[in-house]
A and B are shown apart, each in its own frame.
Chain A
Amino acid sequence: GAVVSQHPSRVICKSGTSVKIECRSLDFQATTMFWYRQFPKQSLMLMATSNEGSKATYEQGVEKDKFLINHASLTLSTLTVTSAHPEDSSFYICSASTNTDTQYFGPGTRLTVL
């Protein structure tokens, strides 16, 4: 099946720093990539949707200036958490989708902000 990678898998940083997370579709071209956040024992929350070469569409309540998304190619999207704070600590998961609309998820990035 389709494989999506995420890097890094885990990051611990100090408050105020920025963290970049990469999401790659390894064996297919993704027309759309999604970024989710999941807090412990809660459901996935869609943060934003991005299509290659265009600006991301953010869900209500998600600050686009804080969570910068770049979808540079059909196989790569990045999420940068700017000036991270402890409340940003969460499990960030990307997914990639082709025209068939099935989503394939990356393994996730666990962010801890001290």
Chain B
Amino acid sequence: RKEVEQDPGPFNVPEGATVAFNCTYSNSASQSFFWYRQDCRKEPKLLMSVYSSGNEDGRFTAQLNRASQYISLLIRDSKLSDSATYLCVVNPGGSYIPTFGRGTSLIVHP
């Protein structure tokens, strides 16, 4: 089992839709979790950290489920500009060496 797994998609949704991605991780000792957004031929940009209590930022909600070892990202009222690849990042305990998922591609169409 890979350390961090994501469904590569693409998720093809219309504007205004709600879409959710999951990211599973294998190391139960993982300490911190993040969602990044990467546009084509650009560097990843931090979207949000994921806290045990959940984290909401506007249309984006991230949640952590430690028991099932996954994090999720929910996007409400999708915009065309949300089209990108969404990467989850998991930091195992202690060393802070991050592990990236392969990314989930989202395409929002008119």
Q: Is the CB of A43 within 8 A of B100?
A: yes
Q: Is the CB of B97 within 8 A of A103?
A: no
Q: Is the CB of A101 within 8 A of B43?
A: no
Contact with B along A31-74 (1 / 0, CB 8 A): 01010000000111010010000000000000000000000000
C-alpha gap A27/B45 in the complex (Å): 17
* B: interface residue count bin: 20 to 34
B91 to chain A, nearest CB (A): 5
Given contacts A101-B91, A102-B49, contact A46 B98 (CB under 8 A): yes
Which among A1, A101, A105, A110 is the interface contact of B44 at CB below 8 angstroms?
A: A105
Which of B34, B43, B97 counts the most A-chain CB atoms under 10 A from its CB? B43
Chain B interface secondary structure, helix, strand, loop or mixed? loop
Q: Is the CB of A101 within 8 A of B96?
A: yes
Chain A interface secondary structure, helix, strand, loop or mixed? strand
Contact with A along B23-49 (1 / 0, CB 8 A): 000000001101000000111111001
B14 to chain A, nearest CB (A): 24
Residues of B within 8 A of A107 (CB): 42-43
Q: Is the CB of B41 within 8 A of A91?
A: yes
Which among A1, A93, A97 is the interface contact of B43 at CB below 8 angstroms?
A: A93
C-alpha gap A107/B100 in the complex (Å): 17
Residues of A within 8 A of B45 (CB): 105
C-alpha gap A42/B41 in the complex (Å): 11
Given contacts A102-B46, A102-B49, A104-B46, contact A44 B97 (CB under 8 A): no
C-alpha gap A103/B102 in the complex (Å): 17
Contact with A along B85-110 (1 / 0, CB 8 A): 00101010000111011110000000
Interface positions of A (Cβ within 8 A of B): 1, 32, 34, 42-44, 46, 49, 91, 93, 97, 101-108, 110
Given contacts A43-B100, A108-B43, list 13 more A-B pairs with CB under 8 A.
Answer: A34-B98, A43-B103, A44-B100, A91-B41, A93-B44, A101-B96, A102-B34, A102-B46, A103-B46, A103-B89, A103-B98, A104-B46, A107-B43
Between A and B, 6 residue pairs with Cβ closer than 8 Å are: A43-B100, A43-B103, A101-B31, A101-B96, A105-B43, A107-B43
